[in-house]
């Protein structure tokens, strides 16, 4: 059951899929259509899953699930992963690699491999004040408070001396 992302409770579980490039406006429109269909039909053991999504910075697909009504099951999580993998193939984009880092350079969102980000930290090209995206957040409350934070307040801090 598709609902507006902003109406879901703060404890709703989130999954963040980070693209290795920005989506075009046309791609975003198509992806939104596909997300609408997928989420409207997403179930766990035949029960509707109250879910919503948002696309941030033309680069992040954030799916949220209200677990107060129904929890995702192994099968429903597998279905969502399969859906994201289909998007990867269709748009020739990487959405599943958690070992990459996105961060802000002004208003621009940059994307680097973890190894490149570590090197940049060592070379002082990024600092503890660099805004990073912590895609490890678990729910909407954490997403709102701790997703877009200075590197010093994220798991990225381990690379900064």
Beta strand segments in the chain, E: 13-18, 43-44, 47-48, 51-56, 60-65, 100-105, 108-113, 131-133, 148-150
- Considering the chain, what is the average pLDDT of its residues? 93
Contacts of 139 (CB under 8 A, 6+ apart): 10, 11, 12, 13, 14
Residue 124: give the domain boundaries: 100-159
Q: Do 67 and 24 fall within a single domain?
A: yes
Residue 99 has what DSSP assignment? Answer: T
Q: What is the helix, strand, coil percentage profile of the chain, to 5? A: 40, 25, 35
With a cut of 80, say whether residue 161 has pLDDT above it: no
Average pLDDT over residues 57-73: 91
Q: Do 64 and 16 fall within a single domain?
A: yes
Ramachandran angles phi, psi of 8, nearest 5°: -75, 145
The last residue of one of the domains, among 91, 110, 130, is: 91
Contact predicate 18/59, CB 8 Å: yes
Confidence (pTM)? 0.93
Residue % of the chain over a pLDDT of 70: 100
Q: Do 49 and 107 fall within a single domain?
A: no
Q: Do 106 and 50 fall within a single domain?
A: no
pLDDT digits 0-9 by tens, 93-150: 999 988 899 999 888 999 999 999 999 999 999 999 999 999 999 999 999 999 999 9
Residue 74 has what DSSP assignment? Answer: H
Q: Do 106 and 147 fall within a single domain?
A: yes
The last residue of one of the domains, among 91, 108, 126, is: 91
159 band by pLDDT with thresholds 50, 70 and 90: confident
43 band by pLDDT with thresholds 50, 70 and 90: confident
């Amino acid at each position: 059951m598709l609902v507006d992302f902003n109406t879901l409770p703060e404890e709703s579980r989130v999954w963040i899929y980070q693209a290795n490039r920005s989506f075009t406006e046309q791609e975003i429109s198509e992806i939104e259509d596909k997300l609408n269909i997928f989420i409207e039909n997403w179930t766990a053991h035949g029960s509707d899953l109250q879910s919503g999504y948002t696309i941030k910075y033309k680069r992040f697909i954030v799916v949220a699930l209200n677990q107060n009504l129904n929890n995702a099951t192994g099968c429903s999580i597998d279905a969502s992963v399969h859906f994201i993998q289909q998007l990867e193939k269709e748009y020739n984009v990487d959405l599943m690699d958690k070992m990459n880092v996105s961060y802000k350079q002004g208003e621009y969102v940059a994307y680097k491999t973890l190894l490149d980000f570590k090197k940049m930290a060592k070379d002082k090209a990024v600092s503890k004040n660099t805004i990073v995206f912590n895609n490890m957040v678990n729910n909407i409350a954490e997403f709102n408070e701790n997703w877009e934070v200075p590197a010093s307040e994220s798991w990225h801090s381990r690379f900064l001396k």
